[in-house]
Amino acid sequence: MTAKPAPNYLDYIREIPDFPKPGVLFRDITPLLGEGDVFAAAVGEMGCFVPDDADVIVGIESRGFIFGAAIAFARNLGFVPVRKPGKLPAETHAIEYELEYGVDRLEIHRDALAPGKKVVVVDDLLATGGTAYAAGKLVQDLGAELAGFVFFIELVDLKGRAKVETLAPVFSVLPLEG
């Protein structure tokens, strides 16, 4: 049996101009998600960046849930969602942050991560770094060890890596110009 060549991920990413607001070029990964072998390859590549001693994957709403849960399943790790306000039913810890087109807020259950647990934060895309940085701070606020960040796409010219790597190492599968 021969190994399949890695897919050209760009063939499965749709660019949507002016979404969610004018001037933003949205990278739509739904075509990639719809192709099982391509999605599996992306999850496999992302999972290679998760340390062997990691305990938990934290996925950022919403596309971070897709990649994060798949990586957690493949690596036999726990999965914890970081959500937008009002979506988690138990007591939460929250943080406000700036993103490239406004201000937002993220929440995590206060009891989601035990102190000392080794955590990797996963999302589909790293842009300016505000959302990922906020998620990393939530992990740290709960006393867990932030082991790293893993992204499918990194918009390198937006320099989000510089902000996020002040907290932990950053890995991405597909560096793109923003």
Length, in residues, of the chain? 178
Question: Using CA atoms, how far apart are residues 89 and 92, in angstroms rounded to an integer?
Answer: 8
Contact 167, 139 (CB under 8 A): no
Number of H helices, E strands in the chain: 5, 9
Is 177 known to be catalytic?
no
Active-site position among 27, 63, 83, 161: 63
Active-site position among 35, 45, 98, 100: 100
User: Which stretches does DSSP call E strand in the chain?
Assistant: 14-17, 25-28, 56-60, 78-82, 92-99, 102-109, 118-126, 145-155, 170-176
Question: Using CA atoms, how far apart are residues 118 and 64, in angstroms rounded to an integer?
Answer: 18
- Give me the residue label for tokens 């300016």: 128
Question: Using CA atoms, how far apart are residues 169 and 162, in angstroms rounded to an integer?
Answer: 10
- Give me the residue label for tokens 């999965």: 79
Is 27 known to be catalytic?
no
Q: Which residues are catalytic?
A: 63, 100
